[in-house]
Amino acid sequence: MAVEQPLTSPAGDQTRIHDIGYRGYDGPRLGRAYARRSLYSQSLRGAYGLGRSAKSKVLPMLLFAVMCVPAAIMVAVAVATKAHELPVAYTRYAIMMQAVISLYVAAQAPQSVSRDLRFKTVPLYFSRPIETADYVRAKFASLASAIFILTAAPLLVMYVGALLSKLGFAHQTKQFAEGLVSVALLSLLFAGIGLVIAAVTPRRGFGIAAVIAVMIISYGAVSTLQAIADVQNHSGVIPWIGLFSPVTLIDGVQSAFLGATARNPGAVDPSTAQGVVYVLVVLALIAGSYGLLVRRYKKVGL
Amino acid sequence: MTVIATESLSKRFPRVTALDRLSVDIGPGVTGLVGANGAGKSTLIKILLGLSPASEGRAEVLGLDVATQGGAIRERVGYMPEHDCLPPDVSATEFVVHMARMSGLPPTAARERTADTLRHVGLYEERYRPIGGYSTGMKQRVKLAQALVHDPQLVFLDEPTNGLDPVGRDEMLGLIRRIHTDFGISVLVTSHLLGELERTCDHVVVIDGGKLLRSSSTTDFTQTTTTLAIEVTDSDAHPDGTRAVRDALHARGVDTHAEGAGLPGAGHILLLTAQGEETYDLVRDVVADLGLGLVRMEQRRHHISEVFTGTDEQNSNDEQRKEAVGHGG
């Protein structure tokens, strides 16, 4: 490169035109932690279609609206009728909307990880300073955050509405906080399950179908079994059956510890012991899916 | 100064030995790593990036140990994989900016470096369009850009000319040459074609079955034997121009031989050994005296097969060779 054009005499060094050509980079290199943060924010934005095509914004934004509108309506009704309590408890809301959340996970978990696998972009990440665990943590945290935004936003709408209609501040704040803990746990659990399924199905379509199958079908099956158990007066086994689907798991945890009422037929709240089992199963699933993801990406490597 | 140094580096998988006691020193500049498919080129790159532990032996890249300082190495080197690795739904600019940030560049620097790098590899207006619509040549340029965007000291290019047409191949090879001469970045480039690397590289390392076959500077190859291929037209006075030239050259004491049979047009190409400048002049004069047209006069270079068969012969006059050639046998 460095095309030089002597305009006048060879002696006149100042009168040359330089194409500056290649410039090196002497600035800071911010290393692993920065790369991990960048990947996190890029994936989180991607989960709502930001920084991607207009088409990929449609579904996440639509689902976000679907999550928030019922909350807004409830608040409006509560304000208009001067009710003393919101029609739906904070902890109940996510369970009520579980189909929407599952759809969101089914759509966004594959887009978060399957693309990198399918187009073999993964080796480009691992030829850089970040390691397998950094990649997995960034992806896990970003999807969990995205689900948390989806599930916590309607709770915030309800909370603000409740305060505006002068419902008891302390009572509302406690319930709101319990609701947030519950959806935080739900976000981690759903993100883990969704990512593990998506990471073993590089084709996005299969990934979506598999996540829907695990989330929604398991919920349907568990609910059916619980209903049968209720009809046959085996209410003792109802909480145990609830361990087998992500939604009822969260429902069990919050019924035991977060002041919620179980939504299962016969409304059997798990005992404290059962609640401990629920919490342990949820934590084991979250940790297990993290471990599986790290193992999966160790293999993909380069 | 040594950029890459390996010392009896071995990599064994349960069923195959990918690298077998490979010892080689590679200096700055453009180095070609040649070997047939499965010779161990990609395995070597993986080990050098610190992503796969060696079974035995050790290796250093830029003075850093691959076993313990992989992260520091990967901050200073770039890697262009052999396979397709680009998502089709984002633009080259977005993609390369993201990859720059993954290498640790702050957001503003990532944007500036991306614009610079894409310009240097020859992508202009099209860089704002989704990669899915690019030609193979353009995709290769994007892959190269993401390997260079963080201004590494060394880049590993795995089969960068794969799938390119002859023009694209030449452009890519020119670009690789510039990475060293203009950008000051050392290059390790793999290929299974020795011919194209000879033109581009300062140094060529040939491996086969995980063993070092030879390691020498490319001037050794080209200066010892330059084969000249010539092709001429026929005229009314000389209905068989090729034969006329062969006889005339023979009369002046230059031996020629025909190109290997079976290839199209083989009978019309004469091969002779160039002794120096004079040979070119001689050919020109002979052809002009006969009143024929000179269709082509080009240098022919070695193919990898010649290295494989001619190793022993080359050993005797090749002084820059590394000691490990003996492994190749």
Q: How far away is chain B from the Cα of A148, in angstroms, using its nearest Cα?
A: 25
Position of tokens 């980079």?
A25
| Partners of residue A301 in chain B, C-beta under 8 Å | 46, 51-52
Helix, strand or coil, per DSSP, at residue B10: strand
Q: Where are the alpha helices (DSSP H) in chain B?
A: 41-48, 70-76, 92-102, 107-120, 136-148, 166-181, 194-200, 218-224, 241-251, 277-290, 304-317
CB contact under 8 A, A29 and B103: yes
| Partners of residue B94 in chain A, C-beta under 8 Å | 51
Residues 6+ apart with CB under 8 A from B238: B244, B290, B291, B292
Among A22, A27, A53, beta carbon nearest to B89 = A53
B41, B75 contact by CB (below 8 A) = no
Strands B77-80, B154-158: parallel, antiparallel or unpaired by DSSP?
A: parallel
Whole-number pLDDT of residue B260: 55
Instruction: Report the DSSP beta bridge partners of residue B157.
Output: B80, B189
Q: Report yes or no: B199 at the A interface, CB cutoff 8 Å.
A: no
Tens digits of residue pLDDT in A83-121:
888 888 999 999 999 999 999 999 999 989 988 888 999
Report the amino acid identity of residue B23: S
B138, B132 contact by CB (below 8 A) = no
Looking at the predicted structure, is the pLDDT value of residue A239 above 90? no
Residues A204-207: contacts with CB within 8 Å, 24+ apart? A204/A110, A204/A111, A204/A114, A204/A115, A204/A118, A207/A106, A207/A109, A207/A110, A207/A114
Residues A79-86: contacts with CB within 8 Å, 24+ apart? A79/A161, A79/A164, A79/A165, A82/A165, A83/A165, A84/A167, A85/A167, A86/A158, A86/A161, A86/A162, A86/A167
Whats the size of chain B, residue-wise? Answer: 329
Domain spanning B226-300: CATH 3.30.70.270: yes
B177, B32 contact by CB (below 8 A) = no
Among B49, B106, B151, beta carbon nearest to A30 = B106
Burial class (CB in 10 A: 0-12, 13-18, 19+), B323: exposed
Among B49, B87, B183, beta carbon nearest to A119 = B87
Among B49, B86, B105, beta carbon nearest to A29 = B105
CB contact under 8 A, B85 and A123: yes
Report the amino acid identity of residue A260: A
Chain B neighbours among A 40-59 (CB < 8 Å)? Answer: 42, 51-53, 56
Concatenating the DSSP letter of every residue in B201-234 gives -SEEEEEETTEEEEEEEHHHHHHH--EEEEEE--
CB contact under 8 A, B51 and A121: no
| Partners of residue A23 in chain B, C-beta under 8 Å | 116
Strand order in the sheet with B154-158: B77-80, B154-158, B186-191, B30-34, B203-208, B211-217
Whole-number pLDDT of residue B157: 96
Whole-number pLDDT of residue A144: 97
| Partners of residue B102 in chain A, C-beta under 8 Å | 35, 38-39, 124-125, 128, 130
Position of tokens 């202009």?
B124
Whole-number pLDDT of residue B219: 66
| Partners of residue B74 in chain A, C-beta under 8 Å | 127-129
CB contact under 8 A, B84 and A120: yes
Whole-number pLDDT of residue B209: 85
Chain B neighbours among A 78-107 (CB < 8 Å)? Answer: none
> How many contacts (CB atoms, under 8 Å) link A and B?
106
Residue in chain A closest to B149 (alpha carbons) equals A25
Digits of tens for pLDDT over chain B (329 positions)? 799 999 999 999 888 889 999 999 999 999 999 888 888 898 899 999 998 899 999 999 999 999 999 999 999 999 999 999 999 989 999 999 999 999 999 999 999 999 999 999 999 999 999 999 999 999 999 999 999 999 999 999 999 998 899 889 999 999 999 999 999 999 999 988 877 787 789 899 989 888 888 888 876 655 555 678 888 888 888 888 888 888 888 888 777 777 655 455 556 778 887 777 788 888 888 888 888 888 888 776 555 445 554 444 444 333 333 333 333 33
Position of tokens 């934004």?
A61
Q: Report yes or no: A61 at the B interface, CB cutoff 8 Å.
A: no
Please report how many Cα atoms fall inside a 13 Å half-sphere around the Cα of residue A257, on the Cβ side.
17
In terms of average pLDDT, the best of A176-185, A254-263, B9-18, B227-236 is: A176-185
Residues 6+ apart with CB under 8 A from B86: A119, A121, B95, B131, B139, B142, B143
Q: Where are the alpha helices (DSSP H) in chain A?
A: 31-47, 54-81, 90-96, 98-118, 122-126, 132-164, 169-200, 204-212, 218-231, 238-241, 246-257, 272-300
Q: How far apart are alpha carbons A1 and B91 in whole angstroms? A: 27
Among A23, A51, A52, beta carbon nearest to B116 = A23
Q: How far apart are alpha carbons B35 and A68 in whole angstroms? A: 60
With a pLDDT cut of 70, the percent of chain A lying above it is 90
Whole-number pLDDT of residue B311: 42
Residue in chain A closest to B103 (alpha carbons) equals A128
Tens digits of residue pLDDT in A10-21:
444 455 555 568
CB contact under 8 A, A25 and B105: yes
Q: Report yes or no: B146 at the A interface, CB cutoff 8 Å.
A: yes
Q: How far away is chain B from the Cα of A125, in angstroms, using its nearest Cα?
A: 7
Among B49, B86, B101, beta carbon nearest to A35 = B101
CB contact under 8 A, A121 and B104: no
Please report how many Cα atoms fall inside a 13 Å half-sphere around the Cα of residue A73, on the Cβ side.
7
The full set of domain ranges for chain B reads 4-222, 226-300
CB contact under 8 A, A24 and B151: yes
Chain A neighbours among B 30-59 (CB < 8 Å)? Answer: 46, 49, 51-52
Residue in chain B closest to A22 (alpha carbons) equals B183
CATH topology assigned to domain B4-222: Rossmann fold (3.40.50)
Among B71, B89, B104, beta carbon nearest to A34 = B104
Q: How far apart are alpha carbons A141 and B154 in whole angstroms? A: 33
**pTM for this entry:** 0.80
A112, A43 contact by CB (below 8 A) = yes
Q: Report yes or no: A20 at the B interface, CB cutoff 8 Å.
A: no
| Partners of residue B84 in chain A, C-beta under 8 Å | 119-120
B212, B326 contact by CB (below 8 A) = no
Region of A114 (left: φ > 0; alpha: ψ -120 to 50; beta: rest) is alpha
Q: Report yes or no: A27 at the B interface, CB cutoff 8 Å.
A: yes
Q: How far away is chain B from the Cα of A76, in angstroms, using its nearest Cα?
A: 41
Higher pLDDT residue, B268 or A56? A56
How confident is the prediction for chain A on average, in pLDDT?
Answer: 88
